Amino acid sequence: MMAPVFILAGEPSGDQLAASIMDAVEVRFGKQSWFGIGGPLMQERGLASEAEMAQLSMMGFGAALSAYPRLSSLSNRLVQRIIEVRPRAVITVDAKGFSLRLTARLKQRMAAEGWSAPVIHVVAPTVWAWGAWRAKSVARAVDRLLCLFPFEVDYFTPHGLAAHFIGHPEAFNAALMPRVGGNRDDGNDSSAAKRLLLLPGSRRSEIRRLVPVMRDAHALLAADDGADGTQDSGVVSTLVTVPHLRDEVAAALGAGSGTEIVTGRDAFYQHLYQADAMMAASGTVTLQTALAGVPGVTCYRTSGLSAMIGRRLVRMDRVILPNALLRREVYPFLFQEEATPARLAAHVRAIFAADQMPGEMPDKIGTGTGSRAARTTANELRALLRGGSDDFETLVANALAPDFGPQD
């Protein structure tokens, strides 16, 4: 009987990516038995989850420190479980702080037990944004690293780590996602309301800190309606969140906000391709919006301690993925005290004004729905992130072939 596979993800984006990896493995190497930690998408594919995925979802140095005892205990329990089950392979997806501590401990235990399985991590730590020295410790903790961005490989191979570029799944998703009916491609239609997409993130701390700011920014934009003596059509806002946080989002928005709340991947893509502008937390979602050609502004707020440490360790010009990948400001980034309703509204207001002017949207604003700049930016990103292949599953399976080939 074939040994099972351990796989772990720590948040909704990791759940999506891990589910894609599970699909790729089973298409190429046949049905597997999966155990580990994951969300609903992974569990739909047969994962037996050892703990709630939400336990691993946190943001900020302060939150990580306070959760360390609990997560250390969970890590020890998972190491013991892996040693008992002896899986065919161990795969960790993102959740870098937890994953790499887990695999480092596992490596020590495997050496002590005289048994080993390949340890594979997916989504490279962002050593290109902060802490390039971390690449060496990653090489000690895992056997194989699957990178989503092409330039990441060169940070790790000098340390003897087998690193492979597998492309970014969103580049394939965006290419295959049909533009939904009702999408407005002519940004000069002043008779229709502008559609604003709010993307505050999928963590409770993000909901608490960012939703009120985005809500108030939308209120400022809505107040522009007719303020100059003209009768404009107004702004319609939609907020996308994960299902289990819907009630918390509704509470943060409060009564009478006028913002529609939707959940789920299908709803996200539907509203993404209809949006005229967006406000988003920093994260993977900024890559999704850029691939869809939606202009906007990004922001983040965290605890005072995390902000202080982050300003000293993180390159702020590389926090937003499209900005880092294309080495230009696709999206402005407002951090901490700069992330105010007035500043968010000002950026979106400029986008709406530019969208009604002839010609291309100014480069300083970023991409624009239906504009040549939007198509150019989306195509640049897609070409960069697809690795010359039209099939994400094939890229993943090829990278995993040495570990998932025929076994005795």
Q: Looking at residue 343, what DSSP letter applies?
A: H
Task: Output the pLDDT for position 233.
Answer: 60
pLDDT band at 359 (very low <50, low <70, confident <90, very high): very low
Helical segments of 61-178, H only: 61-85, 96-113, 134-141, 153-156, 169-176
Is the model more confident about 184 or about 333? 333
Q: How confident is the model at residue 111 (pLDDT cuts 50, 70, 90)?
A: very high
Q: What is the pLDDT of residue 378?
A: 82
Q: What integer pLDDT is reported at residue 170 of this predicted model?
A: 84
Helix and strand totals (H; E) in the chain: 16, 13
Give residue 295's Cα distance to chain centre.
17
Spans of all domains in the chain: 5-167+387-404, 175-385
Q: Are 174 and 286 within 8 A, CB to CB?
A: no
- Which residues, in sequence order, are bridge partners of residue 9? 93
- Length of the chain in terms of residues written: 408
**The domain 5-167+387-404 is classified under which CATH number: 3.30.565.10, 3.20.20.150, 1.10.3720.10, 3.40.50.2000?**
3.40.50.2000
Average pLDDT, the chain: 84
CATH class of 175-385: alpha beta
Tens of pLDDT, residue by residue over 4-44, are 999 999 888 899 999 999 999 999 999 999 999 999 999 99
| pLDDT tens, position by position, 240-272 | 998 989 999 999 999 888 899 999 888 998 999
pLDDT on residue 219: 94
Q: Are 298 and 331 in contact (CB under 8 A)?
A: yes
**Helices 61-85 & 304-313 angle (0-180, nearest 10):** 80
Q: Which amino acid type is present at position 161? A: L
Using the predicted structure, report yes or no on whether residue 370 has a pLDDT greater than 60. Answer: no
178: pLDDT strictly greater than 50: no
pLDDT tens per residue across span 152-177: 999 999 999 999 999 998 888 754 45
Amino acid at the residue 276 = D
pLDDT classification of 237: cutoffs 50, 70, 90:
very high
What confidence score (pLDDT) does residue 227 get?
Answer: 54
- Given a cut of 50, whether residue 148 has pLDDT beyond it is yes
Average pLDDT of the residues in 266-280: 92
Mean pLDDT of 51-62: 71
Q: Which of 19-23, 147-151, 305-309 has the lowest mean pLDDT?
A: 305-309
pLDDT of residue 302: 85
- pLDDT value of residue 305: 81
Question: Which pLDDT score is estimated for 225?
Answer: 67
Are 273 and 182 contacting, i.e. CB atoms less than 8 angstroms apart? no
| 167/163 Cα distance (integer angstroms) | 12
Q: Do the domains 175-385 and 5-167+387-404 match in fold?
A: yes
Assess whether pLDDT exceeds 90 at residue 64.
no
Q: What is the pTM of this model?
A: 0.74
Report the distance separating Cα 343 and Cα 223, nearest Å: 15
